[in-house]
């Protein structure tokens, strides 16, 4: 099971992993409520998180193990195009500032726990509620699986082979999430984010010094891209629209995911969310620095089996063993926090919008909490089985589709916060067109998220999620105009 293990790196890794494991179980007693047998307490932390806890929690949702691994890997592979994650995490925060406090107030006033609750409360439509809930669950599942991809890359760099180490890590995660609910990832997020900041800031200062400075880093990357005939450290003129539309579409989708909405609903006020919209761009700076590690991989002349190995191999090659172990622990813990919140978000959706809506409408608060706990375990087990028994590309393809799918819930969730003009039939048909139309376009493009369009001039490519959202909204408007209000009410 083990090959080429560095004892020092592994010892440091195990120390920090055990530290957060203990914190996960202690979290059940942190800010302890009268009972955790209530979905508000288990699944939303009692809706009591202030500015700093929310900042670490939402930041932990965004900057995951897979982000730390995949963003530099994409930059290593394609160059400047991989930086699309940078503008989208800038664009998203004005959206958060304007929209999310309104959504939080709606949820707080009526006791809503999920996006499905909000939609049902606004439109009274079980069909639309179900569409939003199903979309949330299936978009989240591959996202959890990809956290395992990030953790697997770290375990591989440590010399740990086979499925057992990965399974043990996620079993531990499942147990303390079951015990403490959202409080566990919220508490661990403090340690995880501080570690990630230390790792990235040290890397961007120390690695270029070892490689001849940033001038050599960029020159080496540029030479590598020219040698292989693809990629560039600058965007090509034919990439501008694709880059911008991908950034915009990703920004609009980011806070539609159940795990990011869970962080919003767990906040103690709308003002807390506004403060976070101001403070969270600090993570964007971190992300930009992190992406530069992809260029550094070329300058270090690494020999990689996969682009996903670029970050682990940089730390393994250029740093002392103890710091490599610290960095690997930070990345692995970066899988635990978002995976926990994602499983809780999916469990909340199942409990409120499937179980309570269709199976047991009279379920008690304690019953809801029990169903959510069990569901969170099943979701994690499902994600683990996907990684163990299916090709990694399967999870990658589903996560790509997940971004397009979750974007289609935006009209139903957001429009009703500001206007009563839209009605359920139009929004449901719009969702259907956007969801299945977007899926079809991705399929015919070879599971690529971009569609070539020509408007009489040179063709350009656009993010399919944004195209599907535009079609979604147009259909919703047309159906709404053509459907009399009384017919819509009966429907």
| Domains observed in the chain | 7-392 (1.20.1730.10)
Helices (H), 211-257: 214-228, 240-254
pLDDT of residue 103: 96
Q: Assess contact for 270 and 104: CB atoms under 8 A.
A: yes
Query: Distance (Å, rounded) from C-alpha 371 to C-alpha 351?
Result: 6
Query: Distance (Å, rounded) from C-alpha 199 to C-alpha 81?
Result: 24
Cα 124 to the center of its chain, rounded Å: 29
Query: Distance (Å, rounded) from C-alpha 142 to C-alpha 137?
Result: 9
Written in H, E and C, the secondary structure of 53-79 is HHHHHHHHHHCCHHHHHHHHHHHHHHE
Neighbouring-strand partners of residue 2: 160
Query: Considering only CA atoms, which of 290, 350, 376 is closest in space to residue 36?
Result: 376
Query: Distance (Å, rounded) from C-alpha 383 to C-alpha 258?
Result: 16
Tally of CA atoms within 13 A in the half-sphere of 102 that contains its CB: 12
Q: How many residues does the chain have?
A: 491
Contacts of 107 (CB under 8 A, 6+ apart): 113, 117, 118, 264, 265
| Angle, CA of 193, 375 and 430, to the nearest 5° | 85
Query: Distance (Å, rounded) from C-alpha 361 to C-alpha 342?
Result: 24
pLDDT of residue 485: 64
pLDDT of residue 488: 46
pLDDT of residue 455: 74
Which stretches in the chain have pLDDT values below 70?
A: 1-3, 28, 31, 33, 162, 392-395, 485-491
pLDDT of residue 431: 97
Tokens of 331: 């990345």
Burial 224-249 (b: 16+ CB within 10 A, else e): bbeeeeebebebeeebeebbbbbbbb
Q: Assess contact for 100 and 343: CB atoms under 8 A.
A: no
Q: Assess contact for 371 and 136: CB atoms under 8 A.
A: no
Decide: residue 28, CB within 10 A, 0-12 exposed, 13-18 middle, 19+ buried: middle
């Amino acid at each position: 099971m083990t090959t080429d293990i560095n004892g020092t790196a592994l010892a440091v890794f195990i120390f920090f992993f055990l530290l957060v494991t203990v914190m996960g179980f202690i979290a059940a007693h942190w800010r302890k409520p009268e009972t955790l047998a209530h979905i508000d307490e288990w699944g939303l932390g009692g809706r009591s998180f202030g500015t700093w806890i929310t900042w670490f929690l939402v930041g932990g949702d965004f900057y995951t193990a897979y982000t730390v691994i995949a963003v530099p890997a994409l930059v290593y592979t394609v160059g400047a195009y991989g930086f699309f994650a940078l503008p989208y995490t800038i664009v998203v925060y004005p959206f958060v500032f304007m929209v999310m406090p309104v959504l939080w107030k709606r949820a707080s006033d009526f006791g809503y726990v999920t996006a499905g609750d909000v939609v049902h409360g606004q439109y009274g439509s079980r069909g639309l509620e179900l569409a939003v809930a199903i979309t949330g669950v299936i978009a989240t599942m591959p996202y959890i699986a990809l956290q395992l991809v990030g953790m697997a890359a770290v375990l591989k760099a440590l010399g740990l082979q086979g499925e057992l180490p990965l399974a043990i890590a996620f079993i531990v995660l499942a147990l303390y999430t079951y015990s403490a609910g959202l409080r566990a990832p919220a508490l661990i997020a403090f340690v995880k984010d501080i570690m990630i900041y230390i790792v990235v800031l040290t890397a961007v200062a120390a690695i270029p010094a070892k490689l001849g400075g940033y001038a050599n880093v960029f020159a080496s990357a540029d030479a590598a891209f020219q040698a292989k005939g693809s990629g560039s450290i600058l965007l090509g003129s034919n990439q501008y629209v694709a880059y911008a539309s991908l950034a915009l579409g990703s920004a609009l989708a980011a806070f539609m995911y159940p795990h990011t909405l869970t962080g919003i609903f767990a906040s103690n006020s709308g003002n807390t969310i506004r403060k976070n919209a101001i403070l969270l761009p600090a993570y964007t700076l971190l992300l930009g620095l992190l992406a530069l590690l992809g260029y550094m991989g070329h300058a270090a002349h690494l020999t990689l089996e996969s682009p996903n190995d670029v970050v682990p191999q940089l730390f393994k090659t250029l740093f002392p063993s103890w710091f490599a172990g610290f960095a690997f622990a930070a990345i692995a813990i970066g899988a635990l926090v978002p995976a926990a919140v994602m499983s809780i978000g999916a469990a909340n959706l199942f409990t409120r919008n499937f179980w309570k809506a269709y199976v047991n409408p009279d379920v008690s608060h304690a019953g809801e909490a029990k169903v959510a706990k069990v569901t969170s375990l099943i979701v994690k087990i499902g994600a683990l089985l996907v990684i163990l028994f299916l090709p990694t590309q399967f999870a990658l393809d589903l996560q790509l589709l997940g971004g397009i799918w979750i974007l289609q819930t935006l009209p139903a969730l957001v429009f009703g916060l500001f206007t009563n003009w839209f009605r359920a039939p139009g929004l449901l048909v719009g969702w259907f067109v956007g969801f299945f139309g977007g899926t079809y376009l991705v399929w015919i493009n070879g599971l690529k998220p971009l569609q070539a369009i020509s408007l009489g001039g040179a063709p350009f490519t656009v993010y399919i999620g944004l195209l599907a959202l535009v079609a979604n909204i147009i259909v919703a408007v047309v159906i709404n105009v053509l459907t009399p209000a009384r017919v819509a009410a009966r429907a």
